[in-house]
Structure 1
Amino acid sequence: MNSLHYMSILIILLISDLAIAQTNYISGVVRSSGNNQPIAHVEITNVQNDASTLTDHKGLFSIPVKEKSVTVLIFRHLGYETDTLNINKIPNEPLEVFLQEKVSKLTEVEVFGDANQNSTLLKTEITRIDLEKTPFQDIGSYLRTEPNMGGIRKGAMGIDPVIRGFKYTQLNVQINGGTKIEGGCPNRMDPATAHIDISDLQKITIYKGPYALKYGPNFGGLIRLVTNELSFNESYETHLNMMVGGQTNYEGYKSRLNVAGGNKLLAYSLSTNWNKYGDYSSGNGETMQGSSNNYSLKGQLGIQPVAGQKFYVGYDRSWGKNIDFPTLPMDERNDNTEIYDFSYLGTGFGDVVHFIRAHIYNSDVNHEMDNKSRPFSDTVVAISNIHAINTGGRFAINFDLGKGVLEAGSGFERISKDGTRSKTMIMQPNMPVLYEDLWNNSLVNNLGLFAEYQYKTSRFDWIASARLDINQGNSDPMTRYSMKGDTIFIDANTKSNYTNLSLSAGATWHINDHQNLAVAVGKGVRSPDITERFITLLPVGYDNYDYLGNPQLKPEANHELDLNWTYTNSRLGNLTTGVFFSFVTDYISAVMVPTSEVKPQTKGVLGVKRFINIDKAYLTGFEINYVTPARKYWDAAFSAAYTTGINPKATRYLIESGQVTGEETINNDPLPEIPPLEANVAFYVHLLKNQLSPGIKWRMVAAQNQVSKAYYEKTSPAFTTVELMVTYHYSNQVTLYGGVSNLFNTNYYEHLNRRIVGSLSPYLEPGRICYLNLIINL
């Protein structure tokens, strides 16, 4: 509560210092004049007071204005002609603004598909405003509330995203122009999303399916995290952004300070974040371990020596300290991550070449874990130190070809990983400390070539892409030794080489001014990751087994079909529906290894499993999203989504008294760790000319009874949570976001939450939380 106390004092001081006359707001929606669809991320600037904002994923905006003067609003978007709107009197109804698509095919855009935001794929856009409104301190916490998404939760931070049942390296997660991060923990307590502070994000774009091939090998989906972007100005400007947030129950705070500015030649941004949280109480009053301490520093510098030629360099340093992971054998003690990147964006090459982009990066993760908070640490103290490096780059050129636009280029990624685990026998002080190699100098290289072609007619948008990846992997011999130095396991055949071809194509049919029908087909091929190739006798799976990597695995391929239909009407709203079917060949699973070949090395596990390919697996599901049209006093939204997956022929190992006694074949066994059916309803009211906007959200999650018998997956009960929230635009400089999440103090857990280590108890979610976020822009 101390953080809330200090924050309240700060709010009072700021309000007293920044008090100005009451500010009025103009709100509305921005649509494409070609198909009437809302346009996300339109930059809107009020020339009168220099206020600016972005439209959200529904195309909605709200911007402060002065009451007794002419208002001039400028609407800018990369894919549309800039438009200027002069307003003599603040309208009583929300504005409806239409932008004309640019005649030139494409400038450099950060979205997949056409610049008009009418992609053939069902995608999700999350804006900075969406993120600022929430109490979430972790990117994965937010993502799992999106339709057909989930998150595997193992501790206080690092919730691992899931899209339509695809997870881990089946997803392509990247930052800005393509930077990737390889976590250190074998149990993925530090996925890529854990190394980026949620407060630094400008937007998140999510593509579902194996389609966005120009951004890298894509098997099940793409998550693009875009941090705050540099801005070049006509004259020198400096801006300050500050955020501080606090909450009850999950007691703690998050904070951010950013200074940015520049002129035509130079742009810069400096920011720092500090987040600290303690344990929390679940809905039934049970105390759950959830402490975390994270802080970061970030700097970016941009130079534009001549118009259209921009160079960027960035540095990001983050630290994690004493983060609880009660569902894993170890907690995170220290994490030290550094990211360097350099980018080039060139435009203005003439009428044929639209842009040239280059990006290189290096991410360096030093990760330390230990079991000192576990009951069994009085017998054996284990400390793991891991060093993971991901180095890569991407080059692309976008130009006219025939009647369409071709973007072609190449990308490279190099992942290296090594580390040791020390074991000290507390009860046997004369025994020497045992040091084990965790990753055996693992190395994976991937070189990719890609091309994407887009073509438009009056009624159709077409897109096709192809990607060729050459993947190579190697490590030192996979070994494990006993405390006495005896060989338990060794495999020296660790080399692997793959050549993967991925293809996709799609089309959008503009049926009329209100309806669009889109179809996409794709084949995304993924090489096995470092864990699947080189892990050596560690319990990294959902089930209770030590796992062995298999360097001789085959790549798995996702053959997917997506069908989406949208209906947009200025009076009735926007309805989007989609269905998909995925047929995966050479699906990577695991089978038990006889104890005569290798014995488990982790106390309490049932045996050893080794990664293998199975013939096939199926996934299918649907999504529905509806948003009301822009209203003066209210708006609402609804979404529902569901995915199911099947392994046609699975093996279940029979267990009696903690021992495997046999096996049986299960036909059509559900794939493990797939979120259940979920629906969300939100309703917002706009008062005081949009200065005050309270709202309410219902999240309804069904029971998950479709669980894997082969993995002994547990069912999970249904639950409903309600959240109250309010937005208050005090002035151009000050905005307050507050609310109460889990209003009725429901005791629940997500289906993908892991069990507390050493028990069958699930990792429960927090009970009622009251939160408040203060945003200051100067």
Structure 2
Amino acid sequence: MKTIFIYLLQAMLLMAPLAIIHAQEGKPLQIFDAEDGAPISGFRYQYGTQLGSSDTSGTIFLRRDPDSRLRLQHLRYGTWELTESAFDRLWETGSSTWQPEWMELSPVSVISIGIPQEKDQQIAFSAREKLHHDAGALLNENPMISSIRKSGAFGFDPVMRGFKYDQINVVVDGLQSATAACPNRMDPPTSQIALGRMQKVELLKGPHALRYGIGLGGTLNFVSEAPEFVENPATYGRFSSMWEQNGQVLRNEGKLGWRTQQADMGLIGSWSRGSDYRDGAGNTVPASFMRASVGFYGDFATGAGENLSVNLNRNFARDVAFPTLPMDLRKDDTWMANARFKKSFEGRLLKSITQSAYLSKVDHLMDNGLREINPRMMDARTPAKTANAGGRVEGEWHPGTGRLFAGLDFRSEKAEGTRERTFLMGPNEGKTLLDNAWQEALIQKFGVFTAYSLPLKAGMFSISGRLDMNRAQALDPTVEFSQQFEEISTVQANPGLSLGWQNDLSDRWQIGIWLARVSRSGSLTERYIHYFPVGLDPHELLGNPQLQPETNNQFDLSLQHRTEGLSISVSLFGAYLNDYITGVRTDLAPRLPQSPGVRQFVNVEEVLKTGMEWSIEHRIGGNWSQSLMAAYTYGQDLRHQEPLPEIAPLDLRYSLQGKHLDGKLTSVLRWRAVAAQHRVSSRFGESTTPGFHLVDLEGGYRLLPALTLRASVHNLLDQTYYEHLNRPIRSQAGPLFAPGRNFRLMVSVDF
């Protein structure tokens, strides 16, 4: 801990000499209320490295930046990111109007990781992010999000404030999701996101985003790009390619679309392949993979105030190395489809009705065929499938000065799969044993939800609620499982309630307070997994259909300060959980001889999680900016009086970003310092991890308006390190080390 505070002091000292804010001239732009024509004062704006607040006349001053988009935010008006055409009109006329449309209150951070933007500066995913084959890896650019990693290349399973797996609600456009078919979660939901079509990801902290489902610890909402209709038909597209030296990784991604007055449609595709990489000490780490996707998207203006959106994606993964697990991913084929129809109304209390439906299917196969095992006692393989389907109907009303959402939704998830063990030696030679891993488990959720926001003087009050009826059953239970429990089918009610108050203390200070109590039922794994080693340690896990719902009582506090050249944000949270779901040892006999025993999922009476995130963003003149952000979570099992397992340590990030040659050249210096983690769970055999620090350099040059080149080096100092949440490679009795120094080259073309 002492070391990390030394790093923090160094970072603050680094920022200090750069803290001179130079006065900049710019063009005045005014924003007025669309209903009464009054100037809107105190709204915050972000435009590349330019940020600040409007004055009492609703005026801001900007310098034109062709590579950036203007983003406005106000407590009473919500968030408005101007399209290129809308900004051109604003720049030409010098003014625009803004329709009051209050945002739903939640402690939200919107991140983008592209050059030269950073957290909360631009919400759009750039071409660099869309190249990545795993959305979970992108989330790690924010210190609040860590990942459980069982492979160095794929399947980064996000952990948010110490909440993981089904405690986090991962959705696309507020609804669609996918369930990992692999019992070991080689294919978590974030790995199935088609980034080529995504505009942004919202990190909705805490259990407050009840419109989108129950996210006990938070919601990750991936939002698709908005359609753009044009008078004259036109084609457009993008192609990007990146090469990484360490691991010989090649990534390719592209989009080809067509726009008219009534349609915006196109095709997206990606293909990536990599091999083993070397860590900082020069040791080889298994990390081979192949990942590809292809998809169709279409938005259609079917009538006045009507929009129909259709998306279809097909994902492929082949021969992905998972050195921390007994088997590797051999095949993962996924279909994801969704459709949404929205009807908007003018001059009515009811503003819109939105109807959505989705379907996701995952076909997964893992085996030990790629492993060099001597002697090879048996061949093992597990084919598994999951299917998700659901629908949603939501209405939006504007009663008086408030804003109301209400609706119904339905979600279904099903998993089936069998482990096959063929013995090659020993007394069972020639025999094949079948282990029913999922027992054809099925969970259906019927939900009703509402969210209401009401502006009051200088603040905004919000209340949201949800009630889910959760029905769970096993369609193909084993005889042993049926005999162990009196009832293996359950119906449970999961209520949720969130209250929020957000207030502008001044034109520079804003405070927000949220309280919530939310419950969730156990997942497919927690209720029905059947003697499978899917946890932190090698114990086999056994589900428990009699689990009580897990309940989170959470408090969130947010404080923000923003001026033209400086932004400071602090978020605090405290979560007291009842009936926390975890695993305990039993005297049951394991299925595999090398397994040390069996754990069964049970409820633990009391658990505490608390922590904070903070960030400082500072503009240095017109061409330089810097940021400093950190996150820390503390977790404690109050029943057993020991730390909770898999809690990431204190994580500190600093970046210095610049624009040169009239914005054609961009540069980024990143520094990351992570503290050692000594708070570990002895009951789960968790090991302490050392701290580390990393330095990255990145640069980009726009050769032509449509052609950009980028180059970067990650882990410049060639550090040998590993993340605390990386699973160990048990066959080598050592950690899963991260890549050493890694050079990257990228080219991107837009047309």
> Structure 1-normalised TM-score?
0.83
Q: State the match for 2:515 in structure 1.
A: 521
Q: Decide which of 169, 176, 179 is 1:182's aligned counterpart.
A: 179
Matches within 5 A, 1:72-221: 77=82, 84-86=89-91, 101-103=98-100, 105=101, 113-114=103-104, 119-126=105-112, 127-129=123-125, 132=128, 136-155=132-151, 156-221=153-218
Aligned position for 1:606? 596
Match of 2:478 in 1: 479
Give the structure 1 partner of residue 664 of structure 2: 691
CA contact (8 A) 1:642 1:676 kept: yes
8 A contact 1:277–1:292 mirrored in 2: yes
Question: Is the alpha carbon distance of 1:40 and 1:342 closer, same or farther for their aligned partners in structure 2, counting shifts above 3 Å?
Answer: farther
Deviates more, 1:123-132 or 1:462-471: 123-132
For residue 309 of structure 1, what is the aligned residue in structure 2?
306
Q: 1:233: Cα distance to partner? A: 1.9
CA deviations over 1:348-402 (Å, ceiling 9, x no partner): 3434222211110100000001012342781111111111000011111101124
2: CA distance, partners of 1:606 / 1:431: 25
For 2:584, the equivalent position in structure 1 comes to 591
**Residue identity in the other structure for 1:121:** P
Q: Which moved more, 1:351-360 or 1:389-398?
A: 351-360
Q: Kindly provide the amino acid, as one letter, of the partner of residue 558 in structure 1.
A: N
Q: Which residue of 2 aligns with 1:258?
A: 255
- Whichever residue aligns with residue 517 of structure 2, its letter is K
Give 1:251's aligned amino acid: Q
Cα displacement (A) at 1:133: 6.2
Gap change, CA 1:76 and 1:333, over 3 Å in 2: closer
Q: Secondary structure of 2:137's match?
A: helix
Cα offsets for 1:58-79 (capped at 9, x unmatched): 99xxxxxxxxxxxxxxx9649x
CA–CA distance in structure 2, aligned partners of residues 58 and 403 of structure 1: 18
Aligned with 2:690 (options 717, 732, 736)? 717
Partner of 2:77: none
1:56 is displaced (CA, Å) by 7.4
2:676 to 683, 693, 703: 703
Distance 1:640 1:134, change over 3 A: farther
Deviating more after overlay: 219-228 vs 246-255: 219-228
Give the aligned partner of residue 546 of structure 2: 552
How far did residue 82 of structure 1 move? Answer: 7.3
Does 1:247 pair with 2:244?
A: yes
Q: Give the 3-state SS of the residue equivalent to 2:638 in structure 1.
A: strand
Q: Which aligned pairs between 1:600-639 and structure 2 lie closer than 5 A?
A: 600-629=590-619, 631-639=621-629
Q: Deviations over 1:515-538 (max 9, x none)?
A: 001101111211100000001111
- 1:340 counterpart = 2:340: no
1:543 maps to: 537
Q: Whole-Å Cα distance in 2 between the matches of residues 31 and 130 of structure 1?
A: 28
Q: Secondary structure at the match of 1:612?
A: strand
**8 A contact 2:106–2:205 mirrored in 1:** no
Q: Match for 2:572: what amino acid?
A: V
Question: 2:131, 2:253 within 8 Å by CA — same for their partners in 1?
Answer: no
Aligned equivalents of 1:674 and 1:121: distance in 2? 21
Shift of 1:316: 0.5
Deviates more, 1:748-757 or 1:27-36: 27-36
1:54 to 69, 94, 100: 69
1:263 offset after TM fit, Å? Answer: 0.9
1:31 and 1:37 in contact (8 A); partners too: no
Say if 1:214 and 1:451, in contact at 8 Å, map to a contact too. Answer: yes
Once the two structures are TM-superposed, the CA of residue 30 in structure 1 deviates from its matched residue by 10
Deviation, 1:252, is: 1.4
Equivalent residue for 1:378, pick from 376, 379, 389: 376
- Structure 2 counterpart of 1:293, which letter? M
List per-residue Cα deviations over 1:467-502 (Å, max 9, x = no partner). Answer: 000000000464388xxxxx9986573111100110
Partner of 2:15: none
Aligned partner of 1:367 in structure 2 is 364
- Mapping of 1:252-291 within 5 angstroms? 252-291=249-288
Q: How many angstroms apart in 1 are the aligned matches of 2:451 and 2:581?
A: 28
Which position in structure 1 is the counterpart of 2:714? Answer: 741
Letter in 2 for 1:149: I
1:346 counterpart letter in structure 2? K
2:403 is the alignment partner of 1:398 = no
What TM-score, normalized to structure 2? 0.86
Check conservation: 1:31, 1:38, Cα contact below 8 A: no
For 1:590-644, what per-residue CA distance to the aligned partner results, in whole angstroms no more than 9, with x for missing partners?
A: 22112xxx30112322211110001010001011111113731211111011001
Name the CA distance, whole Å, in 1 between partners of 2:92 and 2:308: 38
Deviation at 1:301, TM superposition (A): 2.0
> Is 1:776 aligned to residue 745 of structure 2?
no
Please say if residues 477 and 490 of structure 1, whose CA atoms lie closer than 8 Å, have aligned partners that are also in contact. no
CA contact (8 A) 1:171 1:219 kept: yes
Same amino acid, percent of matched pairs = 29
Deviation, 1:758, is: 2.5
Cα distance in 2, alignment partners of residues 121 and 139 from structure 1: 21
> CA shift at 1:201, angstroms?
2.8
Q: Name 1:411's counterpart in structure 2.
A: 409
SS of the equivalent of 1:140 reads helix
Query: Structure 1: how far apart are the matches of 2:28 and 2:639?
Result: 50
- 2:129·2:138 contact (CA, 8 Å) conserved in 1? no
* Range moving further from structure 2, 218-227 or 240-249: 218-227
Please point out which of 520, 539, 556 is paired with 1:562. 556
Q: How many Å separate the matches in 1 of 2:205 and 2:319? A: 34
CA distance change for structure 1 residues 83 and 501 in 2, over 3 Å: closer, same or farther?
farther
- Is 547-556 or 308-317 further displaced after alignment? 308-317
Q: Which amino acid aligns with 2:412?
A: R
Counterpart selection for 1:645 from 626, 631, 635: 635
Q: What displacement does 1:329 show?
A: 1.2
Which secondary structure state, in structure 1, belongs to the residue aligned with residue 354 of structure 2?
strand
> Aligned partners of 2:458 and 2:530: how far apart in 1?
55
Give the CA deviation at 1:689: 1.2
Partner of 1:71: none
